[in-house]
Chains A and B, each alone.
Chain A
Amino acid sequence: MKKLVVLLMIMGILLLSSVAFAQVANPDWWKKAAEPYQGVVIRGVSESTPPSKTIAEIAAPAFEELTGIKVELETTSWDEMYNKEIQDMQAGAGIYDFVYIEQDAAASYLEQNWLIDLTPLVDNADLTAPDFDLPDFTSFIDSFKDEEGKLYGIPFEAFLKTYIYRTDLFNDPEIQAAFKEEYGYDLAVPTTWEQYTDIAKFFTEYGKEKGIEIYGHVAQAKTHPCLAYELCETIWPTWGVYNWGVNLENMRTSVENGGTLNSDTAKEALAWYVDMLQYAPPGVRTYTWDEAAAVFGTGIIAQGFLYMENLGWLANDPDRSVVIGKIAVDLPPTKPGVMEAAEAGEGYIGYYDGGAWGIPHSSKNKEAAWLFIQWCTRKEWQPEFAELATTVVRQSAFEDPIIDELNEKMGDYYTLMQEKGYLFAGCPPLPMQTPLNELYLQWISRAVAGEISPEECLDNLAEKADQLMEELGY
C-alpha cells in the first residue's frame, strides 16, 4: 500500500512536471533564441545529487524538445566531478560547455581565469529571456561575482549546514523532566556550546541507561576531506574563528602572521570537537557526510549538524528515514559574542553552500550553454524544482505556496534560510582551498585519531599552511 502511494506520488510529480513544462511562460522566445543552435550538443558535468539529477532527467529533455539543443549532462561523484572539470579547463580541452561551480571552488576558478564573464550575455537581449530577472536571485549569487561585480555563475542549488534535532525527543515530557533534573534547566534548542555539550552527554547517557540506541551527537570524523570542512565551516566560525583561520589580507594562517588558525580559541574548539566524539555512535570516526546523515535517518541521533541537502530525503523518503515529521532545524549554538558579530555582518555562524553553472573559456557552444543555464533557473520552474531537489535560489520561489507545504515537513527550514540565511556564509575566497583542505585534513585527522594533541596539530598545521601559501605565490 505504502509503495503504491509512493508510486502514485512519483507519477503525480512526473505529471506535474510535464504540465509545468508545458507552461513555459514564453515558448516562442525560447524557440527563436535557440534557432541558430539547432542540433548543437552541449555537454556539462555535475555531481549526482538531486538538483543535478533533476536537471539531467527532467529539464534537459524538455529543453531539447523545445529548442532542438541536445544536452548531455554527466552526473558523477564529487571527487570525480572536480577532477574532470579542472582537468578540462586547465588543458583548455573544450569538453564541457557548462560546468558545476561549487561555491567553495568559485574563488579558485576565478583566480585561474577559467570561466567567462556572463555579464555581456545577460545584457544581450537576443540571448537572455525577458523574464530572467537577475535581481530575483538570493544573495547567494554574490559568491559567484568577482571584486568588480562581474558575474561568473548562475546558482541553481543552495543549502545550509546547520543544527538539526529531533522534535519528538526534545518534546518528550519524560526526557524533559530527566534533563531538567540533571542539568537544572529546561531542555531546548541549545544556544551555547555548553548547552549543546550537556544535551549530547545527556542523550548518550540516557540511551545507555535505558538500553535504547540513542546518541546526542554526530560528526563526520573520517579521514576524508569532509572532516576538515566540518571544522572550517561549522565548528570554528561559531567559536569566532572565521575564514578557515586565514587572514585574508595577507593569506597567512599562523597567529604571528595575523591569522587565527593556531589561536587558543581554535585549539580549544578542536579539543572540544575531538572530545565530543565520545558522545557520538562508536563508528563516528568512519563517518563521512554520507554515513552521518544515513545514521541520523535511522533515528538514533538526537541532534547534530548536517548538510541540509539531505533534508529532502530525511523528511520525505520512508525507505531511508524513520524520522519523517520528527525533525526541525535551527541556528547553531555559538560562543558569546559570535551571534552578535554575525548579525552586525562582522562574522558568520555557519555554512551556506551550493552550486552554480558557469561556462568555461574553452567551451565551444557558449551561447547554447547560456540558454540552457537560464532554462534550469527559470523563475516559473523554481517552486517545482524546490520540491524535487530541496533547494531554493530565487526570492520569488520562497513566496510560492509549495514552500509553505515543504516547510511544514522540513521543520521550517526554508523560513530559516530566507530569514536567517544572511548569518551564514560560504567558503571564504581562498583560491587555493583544495590543496589547503587537503593539508588541514592531513593534520586534523591526526588529532582526531589521537596521534598528536590539538595544540601540536594546529601549531604544525599553521606553520605548514603558511609555507604552502608562500609556495603557491600568495
Chain B
Amino acid sequence: MQAIAKKRLRLFLIYLLCILIAIVTLFPIYWMFVVSVQSKLEIFSGPHFFPPSFHSENYTRPFFQDVYGRYLVNSLIIATGNTLLVIFLAVMSTYAFSRFRIPGSNNIFFWTITNRMAPAAVFIVPFFLMFNRLGLRDTRGGLIILYCIFNLPFAIWLLKGMMDSIPKELDEAAMIDGCSLWGVLIRIILPLARPGIMVTAILTWIFAWNEYLFASVLTNVNARTMTTGLIEFVTVIGTNWGEMAAVSMVCLIPAVVFISVAQRHIIAGLTFGAVKD
C-alpha cells in the first residue's frame, strides 16, 4: 500500500517538475510565436500575451518575396554536410586514439581540442585571406570545411569517452575472426557507439546550423546562411522583429525534426542505465 502511494507521489513530483521545466523552456518560444504574428506597432504597444491579430505576411514575405528560402537550403546543406564530415573523421580518429598506441597521442588529442578554445573573432582575418586565396569564399563547401574547426574537436572529445567504454575484447575477437579494420569499425563499433554518435551528430549539426560570425564574413550571396539572413532584419531604421521571429519559428522546424529523429537512437541505449523498479 505504502509502496504504491510512494510511487504515485514520485510520479506526481516528476510531472510537476517536468511541467515546470517545460513552461520555462517554452515561454520564450511561445513569446517568439506571439511576436511573429504581430505588426511592429503591436509589438511595441504593451505586452500582448495572446496575439491581437494575425499577420501572416511576416511568414510569407521573407520566404516568397525575399530569398530566405535559399538561405534555409544553404543552412541545411552546410549543417548536414558538416555533420557528416565531422562524424566520419571523428569516428575514424577516435577509434584510432582509443585502440592503438600512437606516439604522442595524448598531445595530439589535447591539441585537437584546444582548437575549440580559441576565440573566433580574431580568426576572421586569417580565414578571410585564406578562403579568398583558395576560392572557398562564398561557397558551401568552404563553410562545411571551416566549421570542422570547432565541431571536430568537440566530436572527438565527446566520442573518445564513448569509444573507450566499448570493450576492446569485442573488436579483438572480430579481428581474430578475420575481420578487417573497416569491417570492425562498421560492424562492431558503429552499432555499439550509436547513442554517442547520434548525440554528437545532433550537437554538431546544431553548432553548424547556428554559427554566425564566420558565415557573416565568409559568405556573400551564394552560400549565405539563415543566421546571417536573420541579422539582415536588424537595420538602422528599425529591426523587423515580426519577420525575424517568423523566420526563427520556421527555422525551428527542421531543427526539431532532426533532433527528434536522432534522439530516438540515443534512447534505444538509454534504458539499461536506469534501474528497473
Contacts and interface: CB of A to CB of B under 8 A. Distances in A.
Contacts of A145: none
Interface string B83-121: 000000000000000000000000000000000000000
A72 B221 CA distance: 8
Given A77-B235, A318-B41, 5 more contacts: A45-B220, A80-B228, A294-B44, A295-B44, A307-B237
Contacts of B236: 47, 49, 78, 289-290, 307, 309
Nearest to B212: A80
Residue among B43, B217, B231, B238 having the largest count of chain A Cβ atoms under 10 Å: B238
Nearest to A321: B41
Greatest chain A CB density within 10 A among B125, B128, B217 is at B128
Contacts of B124: 83, 87
B217 A76 contact: no
B44 A95 contact: no
B140 interface: no
A298 interface: yes
A318 B41 CA distance: 8
B129 interface: yes
Interface string B124-151: 1100110010000100000000000000
Contacts of A47: 235-236
Contacts of B137: 93, 95
* Top 7 closest pairs, chain A to chain B, by CB: A320-B40, A319-B39, A77-B234, A77-B231, A93-B132, A298-B44, A298-B45
B40 A74 contact: no
B228 A76 contact: yes
A66 interface: no
25 contacts: A43-B221, A45-B220, A49-B235, A49-B236, A50-B237, A76-B231, A76-B232, A77-B231, A83-B216, A84-B216, A84-B217, A91-B128, A91-B132, A95-B132, A95-B220, A289-B236, A289-B237, A294-B43, A297-B44, A298-B44, A307-B236, A309-B237, A318-B41, A320-B39, A320-B41
B228 A297 contact: no
B60 interface: no
A423 interface: no
Contacts of B231: 76-77, 80
Interface in A2-50: 43, 45, 47-50
Contacts of B228: 76, 80
B239 interface: yes
Contacts of B239: 290
Interface string B8-51: 00000000000000000000000000000001110111000000
A95 B233 CA distance: 23
A439 to B, nearest CB: 18
Contacts of B44: 291, 294-295, 297-298
Nearest to A294: B44
Contacts, number: 91
Nearest to A309: B237
A225 to B, nearest CB: 11
A75 interface: yes
Question: Looking at A78, A91, A291, A319, which has the most chain B CB atoms within 10 Å of its CB?
Answer: A319
A202 interface: no
Given A76-B228, A95-B137, A293 B237 contact: yes
B129 A91 contact: yes
Contacts of B238: 290, 293-294, 310, 313, 320
Contacts of A87: 124-125, 128, 217
Nearest to A80: B216
Nearest to B222: A72
Interface in B179-208: none
A322 interface: yes
B82 to A, nearest CB: 22
Contact of A77 (B41, B220, B232): B232
Interface string A93-112: 10100000000000000000
A74 B217 contact: no
Nearest to B221: A72
A49 B233 CA distance: 10
A140 B129 CA distance: 35
Of A77, A80, A321, most B-chain CB atoms within 10 Å: A77
A320 B40 CA distance: 5
Nearest to B125: A87
Contacts of A95: 132, 137, 220
